[in-house]
Each structure stands twice: as structure tokens, then as C-alpha cells.
Amino acid sequence: MSNKEVDKCPSDLLPEYAFIGRSNVGKSSLINMLTGRNGLAMTSATPGKTMLINHFLINKNWYIVDLPGYGYAQRSAKGQEQIKRIIQSYILERVQMTCLFVLIDSRHDPQTIDLAFIEWLGENGIPFVLVFTKADKLKTGRLNANVRNYLNKLSEQWEELPPYFVTSSENRTGRDELLAYIEQINKNLKTEIG
Ligand code: GTP
Ligand code: MG
């Protein structure tokens, strides 16, 4: 199901695992990799493909949510504003949002736009999990250095670091770990509800 408005999203109360990040960071690819269904979420070499809130029902039990990417420069100012409003209202209003995964391209130094987004999450008290993407594009040493560098940067602002995963949609790195993490949360929710 795809929506422009948060109030039109599925009305059942199943837990939602949302994926967000800069445009082109690899959100849709990661969702396809996790579900093992290529072509489920639309991927593209052209950034800005995901313009809507996309819900994918998994095992009739929980949702994966593909959010539009932020920071796609080629979009008009009005378009950017619209995307920002969709993202912010989903994150702030959606009570079903159980976990927010913030995707970071593992190839780069910390980018201002991602840090600003993470800071906005902090200001609004939204917990999140970091997911480093495109790990296959780097040698292990460089990859580890970049991840460490990122966490160091965050510790300048944060007392406690978020959980994080290193992934590649190309060779399925991190798939078992991410799915196990989600399954554990689902299990805990079931126990809480009884
Ligand atoms: P928007 O919907 O535009 O915001 O982008 P997105 O974050 O959904 O990115 P998408 O999954 O469409 O991937 C963008 C580009 O990066 C595509 O060309 C993908 O093939 C490539 N890509 C994504 N993940 C990986 C990865 O793990 N490894 C490699 N090598 N390429 C990747
Ligand atoms: Mg996408």
C-alpha cells in the first residue's frame, strides 16, 4: 500500500519497521534484500524514486515501511518541502512505528544532512537504529574505519550510541542480524501484550 498522507496508512495496529535515509542510500534495495523479493520496493539509479509512504505486509504480522528519501537536491523546493512534511508527520504521529532504521552510506564521512536529521530525531525523542549500507563497495579495513569514525562523530553529541548494523544488499551482509533484531522486538511485543 502506498500513501501520501499518514492518516491514510493501514489502520490495523501491527508493528511497523520504517526505513529512512538520504535519497539513493539504498533503502529500497535493503528492503528487497531483507524480504528476498527483488522488485518489491522500486529501486533506481536515479535518486528520488520513492515519493510515498510504502507499506509492505510481512507474514501477516508486521510491516516494513519504505519512506521517501530526504535531501534529493534535484527536487523543487516545493517538492522537498512536501517530502519533509510526509517524513516528519509519519515519524512524529505514527503510533505503530516500532523501530526506525536510519540508513547511512558506509562509503562516506559523516554528512551534514544525515547528522542534522539524526539531531532532529534526538530533539523529538525518537529512538533509532543505524544501518550502514553498501558495505560491499569498501575493503574491510576502510569499512570498519568509516563505521568507527561515524560512531565517534555521534558520541560528540550523544551520551549513548544507537544499535547499528553493517549491510550490503549486493551480497546480503547483515540480513540475518537485522531480521533477528526485528523478530526479537516482535517477540517482546507479543509477550508484553500477553
Ligand atoms: P530513493 O528511493 O531514491 O530515495 O533511493 P533508495 O534509498 O531507495 O535507493 P535504492 O535502493 O533505489 O538504491 C540506489 C542505488 O544504489 C541503486 O543503483 C542500487 O543498485 C545501489 N545500491 C543499493 N544498495 C546497494 C548495495 O548494498 N551495494 C551496492 N553495490 N549498490 C547498492
Ligand atoms: Mg527507494
pTM of the model: 0.95
Q: Nearest Cα to 102, choosing from 22, 15, 9?
A: 22
pLDDT tens digits for range 73-106: 777 888 888 889 999 999 999 999 999 999 999 9
Residue 81 C-alpha to ligand 2 middle, in angstroms?
18
Which residue ranges have their beta carbon within 6 Å of ligand 1?
21, 23-29, 43-45, 47-50, 69, 133-134, 136-137, 168-170
Query: Measured between alpha carbons, how far is 132 from 48 in angstroms, rounded to an integer?
Result: 19
Domains of the chain: 2-193 (3.40.50.300)
For residue 173, the model assigns a pLDDT of 98
How would you write the pLDDT of the chain (194 residues) with one tens digit per residue?
A: 888 888 888 989 999 999 999 989 999 999 999 999 888 877 777 666 667 899 999 999 999 999 998 887 777 888 888 889 999 999 999 999 999 999 999 999 999 999 999 999 999 999 999 999 999 999 999 999 999 999 999 999 899 999 999 999 999 999 999 999 999 999 999 888 66
Label residue 23 left, alpha or beta by phi (over 0 means left) and psi (-120 to 50 means alpha): beta
Rounded distance from Cα 7 to ligand 2 centre (Å): 21
Above pLDDT 70, what percent of the chain? 95
User: Which of 31, 32, 43 most suits a substitution to test ligand 1, by most atoms within 8 Å of the C-beta?
Assistant: 43
How far is 148 from 89, CA to CA, in rounded Å?
Answer: 32
Give the pLDDT of residue 191. Answer: 86
C-alpha–C-alpha distance, residues 53 and 38, integer Å: 19
Residue 62, SS3 per DSSP: strand
pLDDT value of residue 180: 98
Q: Is the dihedral of CA 152, 156, 161, 167 positive or negative?
A: negative
Cβ contact 16:22 at 8 Å: no
Specify the ligand 1 atom closest to the Cα of 66: 8
Q: CA-to-CA distance for 4 and 86, rounded, in angstroms?
A: 7
**CA separation for the pair 88, 121 (Å, rounded):** 10
